Amino acid sequence: MTDSDIVLVTSSHDLAQLDARRELLNRHGVSAAPDAAFDALCDRLAHDTGFPYAMVNFYLDRQRFAGLHNPPAESGLPIVDRSMDRVHGWCPHVVKRRRALPLPHVHASRLYSGNAVVDAIGITAYFGQPLIYPGTDIVLGTVCVIDQTKYPLEDADRLLAIVKEAGAEVMTDILARPSIGAT
């Protein structure tokens, strides 16, 4: 077991959180399927941060990217799919921590350096914000950006602020959707 696996161990609490996530998303008619509003938000987030990838990620049986911005095909950067294993990347850490994770250079920390996403597409920068359902401790997922370029530490606060604002927009969007079957 590696250091990064320690925070990802599945427990009965994790399974209860998964069920609660599904119930809350269903209550607002939100699915993990591609969502035009979340895709548009990711397009804007990628533009505002300068990162080639942005995601609205619901942490379910897999990580599901209901919102996704990929770089243009002609960029030469890999195109990512709309789902990923639950233990890959840094979003699982954000879900467990229940707070934002700014990594302007993932290799600066041994805990975050070894990762399937680093190996698969060479990511060296990550900024993620949890999507916490108000009045609960339930993290629905994350909003994040990733890049193959490391960023100066001086840019971390600015980039994280942009990602946090996008996370607030996602939660506002979810909560504004009609509640289905809530009691």
pLDDT for position 182: 55
Residues in the chain: 183
CA-based R_g, the chain, Å? 16
pLDDT for position 15: 80
Helix ranges (DSSP H) in the chain: 3-6, 12-27, 36-49, 91-97, 110-113, 116-121, 156-176
Residues of the chain with pLDDT under 70: 1-13, 181-183
pLDDT for position 84: 94
Domains of the chain: 3-176 (3.30.450.40)
Burial class (CB in 10 A: 0-12, 13-18, 19+), 163: buried
How far apart CA 36 and CA 121 sit, in angstroms, is 25
Q: What is the pTM of this model?
A: 0.90
